[in-house]
Amino acid sequence: VVEGDFNGDGEVDCNDALWVIRQSRQGP
């Protein structure tokens, strides 16, 4: 497990930040 790899793609990048934003919202 990579620390900061929230979306599980094996690397930490802007997609992880976007994933966190999506998870914290109720919506698409």
CB 7 within 8 A of CB 19: yes
27: left (phi over 0), alpha (psi -120 to 50) or beta: left
Query: What band does 1 get if pLDDT is binned at 50, 70 and 90?
Result: confident
CB 11 within 8 A of CB 2: yes
pTM above 0.75, yes or no: no
The pair of three-digit structure tokens given for residue 2, joined into one six-digit string: 């990579």
Give the other-Cβ count within 10 Å of 20's Cβ.
13
Cα 23 to Cα 26: distance, rounded to the nearest angstrom: 8
Range of the domain at 6: 1-28
Query: What band does 27 get if pLDDT is binned at 50, 70 and 90?
Result: low
14 pLDDT above the threshold of 90: yes
- Mean pLDDT over residues 2-26, rounded? 94
| % of the chain at pLDDT higher than 90 | 82
